[in-house]
């Protein structure tokens, strides 16, 4: 399987020829070496990959020495990429021949896939508990109402459901009160005040004293 060099796992040790090509391209991209001669970089890194080195390990070796100190200044424009890489990796060899152990442990591509598949399973969202029969019915009704785009139809359905709830509160055997029953109840509890039609204020009838004629 061919992997995009930009997505090549940095800790994976390339094994096949195709993996080495992809790892070399990934290294040049991460090091910002667009001018690097891939053939020379591959020829240089093949023994390191065979010794268990990964792209991440090579990049660490470019920046630091085995004792953890800094390697020095970054590559200048006058330096050829693979020659610069050769000089940096020389500090990780003994007598210029034996390769040191990689500063970062590597893994095979199969191990990397297994680890990622396991992590994906551990972090996968868990399924919630199933709904009861009432919950399923309520969800079905809500979805049915949501699919109805007509606002008038939604309003009527809402009114019908409200009426069902009100009817469930009635005493069995009795009918729901009408508007006339409600008005009659209000009339019995609250007496109607007489209002003066001329002024709009409540008319208070005060008993007036009887006028007495004075005899002339």
With residue 94 as reference, give the H or E element that holds it. strand 93-94
pLDDT value for 147? 61
Per-state percent for the chain, helix, strand, coil, to nearest 5: 50, 5, 45
pLDDT value for 197? 41
> In Å, how far from its chain's centre is CA 150?
32
**In sequence order, which ranges of 31-150 are alpha helices (DSSP H)?**
38-50, 55-63, 81-90, 109-122, 133-146
Q: How many CA atoms lie within 13 A of 212 on its CB side?
A: 3
pLDDT value for 183? 64
pLDDT value for 160? 79
Residues 6+ apart with CB under 8 A from 194: 202, 203
pLDDT value for 210? 53
Both tokens of residue 90? 């020389």
Q: What is the CA radius of gyration of the chain?
A: 45
Q: Along the chain (216 residues), what's the average pLDDT of each consecutive run of 10 residues?
A: 82 92 94 93 95 94 92 85 93 84 91 84 70 75 66 73 72 65 62 45 48 50
pLDDT value for 176? 63
Q: Are 9 and 112 in contact (CB under 8 A)?
A: yes
Both tokens of residue 206? 């005060």
Buried b (16+ CB within 10 A) or exposed e, 121-152: eeeeeeeeeeeeeeeeeeeeeeeeeeeeeeee
Is-above-0.95 flag for pTM? no
Which residues of the chain form beta strands (DSSP E)?
93-94, 98-99
Task: Give, as one character, the DSSP assignment of residue 179.
Answer: H
Q: Are 57 and 83 in contact (CB under 8 A)?
A: no
What's the CA gap between 10 and 49, in Å, rounded? 12
pLDDT value for 122? 79
């Amino acid at each position: 399987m061919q992997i995009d060099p930009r997505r090549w796992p940095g800790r994976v040790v390339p094994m096949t020829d195709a993996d080495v090509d992809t790892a070399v391209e990934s290294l040049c991209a991460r090091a910002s070496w667009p001018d690097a001669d891939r053939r020379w970089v591959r020829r240089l890194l093949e023994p390191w990959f065979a010794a268990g080195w990964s792209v991440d390990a090579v990049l660490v070796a470019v920046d630091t020495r085995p004792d953890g100190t800094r390697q020095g200044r970054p590559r200048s424009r006058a330096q050829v990429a693979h020659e610069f890489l050769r000089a940096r990796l020389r500090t990780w060899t003994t007598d210029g021949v034996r390769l040191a152990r990689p500063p970062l442990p590597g893994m095979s591509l199969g191990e990397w896939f297994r680890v990622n598949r396991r992590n994906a399973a551990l972090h996968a969202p868990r399924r919630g508990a199933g709904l009861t029969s009432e919950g399923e019915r309520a969800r079905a009704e809500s979805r049915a109402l949501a699919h109805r785009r007509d606002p008038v139809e939604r309003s009527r359905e809402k009114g019908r459901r409200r009426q069902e709830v009100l009817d469930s509160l009635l005493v069995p055997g009795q009918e729901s009160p009408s508007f006339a029953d409600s008005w009659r109840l209000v009339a019995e509890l609250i007496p109607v005040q007489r209002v003066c039609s001329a002024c709009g204020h409540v008319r208070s009838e005060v008993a007036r004293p009887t006028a007495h004629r004075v005899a002339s």
